[in-house]
Structure 1
Amino acid sequence: MSEATQDPVEEQRFFRDDWYGEEITGRHYVRCEFHEADFSEAVTRNSVFTDCVFGNVRFNASRHTDSAFTGCAFKRCNFFDAEFTGCKLVGATFTECELRPLRVTGGDWSFAGLAGADLRTVTFQGVRMREADLTGADCGGAVFADVDLSGAMLHAVKLPKAELRGSDLSALDPLNAELAGAIVSPEQAAVLVTSLGLRVRA
């Protein structure tokens, strides 16, 4: 991931700004606030947002590549049809956000706060999500393929018909999750069986 190339903009407040379709490349924002802004169809590349707050922001059909949103708080934002590729959202929190459909490929979402989020049918492919908080999240029909979920908080997570192959499920307690119809590999099945205290013998 490339670093931002411009001098950082610090502690500024943006209210109802129109960023529709804008190309945001190499920028850096620190502790800024964005309220009721429109980032629909915007594209970010190699940009960094550090400890920023986004409130009621529209990210509809936006595309983010090799950008970072570390420690950012997203409140009541809309990510309809948004894509993140190779992005870093370590410690980002999502509160009352519309996250469907969302596609995430690569990058690091460790420690992300997604408790109670509606993540049905979203796609996370090859993403690092260590110690992410997915407590009570509804991930029915979602894809978590080759995702590092080690240490993740998965209590009461709903994963019916989810695609989980290739992901680290060591933090998942099958007794405290909904897994009906979820797709796992034989190796993952062995991990889940072991977590239930069972021993498999030929």
Structure 2
Amino acid sequence: MADRKEGRPAPKTESTVRDWDDADPSGQTFTRVLFIDSDLTEVTNRGGVFEECTFRGVRFNASVHVDAAFVNCTFVRCSFFDTTFTRCKLMGSMFDDCSYNLMKVEGGDWSFVGLPGADLRGVEMTGTKLREADLTGLRAAKAALRDADLSGAWLHHADLTGVDLRGSDLSTLDPHTVELKNAIVDLTQAMVITTSLGLEVRP
């Protein structure tokens, strides 16, 4: 399993749920629960809260999560095919060996999230807070990271080829350690990247 920042261990779970199919987590709160091999395909979750939970082999395919929270959770070998997160809080959660095809994220707070080496190619994230997120080795070719707060994010060896980054905070991005070929940026971001490269812009 990928390590959390500073080597912090995943929270210990206190109960286990297997094959949690036909679930409706809306409005409920779950704390330190281990969910194993459950199928949450097409589930609609409005306001459900998961705190320090672990999900192993859970299928979130085509599910919709609105104003929900997955705080300091751990996701291992989970599938997020066509999953939508709207205004959700995933602060401090860790993702390991998961798939994210066609995943969409609108708003929400994903600060301190761990996505090292994640394959986010084609994923859309708009207006999402990703402060100090671990995006080391991220593969996000042709994804959209629009209007995202990436301040303090770890982006070493991230592949942002062709990524739409317009409106995102790139103040801590080091263009020497990130692949930015064909990435789409606005004029303000272009100035930030140019300055990071040690260049001077003159009329």
Q: Same fold (TM over 0.5)?
A: yes
Matches within 5 A, 1:43-122: 43-122=44-123
The residue that corresponds to 1:7 in the other structure is none
Question: Is 1:168 the counterpart of 2:169 in the alignment?
Answer: yes
Q: Does 1:193 align with 2:194?
A: yes
What one-letter code is carried by the residue in structure 1 that aligns with 2:26?
T
* CA-CA distance at 1:25 after TM superposition: 1.5
Q: Distance in 1 between matches of 2:14 and 2:27?
A: 18
Q: Per-residue displacement from partner, 1:30-69 (whole Å, max 9, x unpaired)?
A: 0001000111111111111000000000000000000000
Counterpart CA distance in 1 for 2:29 and 2:123 is 28
Q: CA offsets per residue over residues 87-123 of structure 1, 9 Å max, x none?
A: 0000011100011111000100000000100000100
Distance in 1, Cα, partners of 2:29 & 2:83: 20
Aligned to 2:124: 123
Kindly report the root-mean-square deviation, in angstroms, between the aligned alpha carbons of the 2 structures.
1.0
Structure 1, unaligned runs of 5 or more: 1-9
Match of 1:134 in 2: 135
- Richer in strand (by share): 1
Corresponding pairs, count: 191
- 2:148 corresponding residue in structure 1: 147
Shift of 1:23: 3.5
Corresponding residue for 1:14? 17
After TM superposition, which residue ranges in structure 1, 4 or more long, deviate above 4 angstroms?
none
Separation of aligned partners in 2, 1:85 and 1:54: 20
Q: Match of 2:70, SS?
A: strand
Alpha-carbon distance in 2 for matches of 1:114, 1:17? 25
* Distance in 1 separating the partners of 2:191 and 2:143: 21
Query: TM-score when scaled to structure 1?
Result: 0.92
Cα distance in 2 between the residues matched to 1:63 and 1:11: 27
Deviation at 1:11, TM superposition (A): 3.0
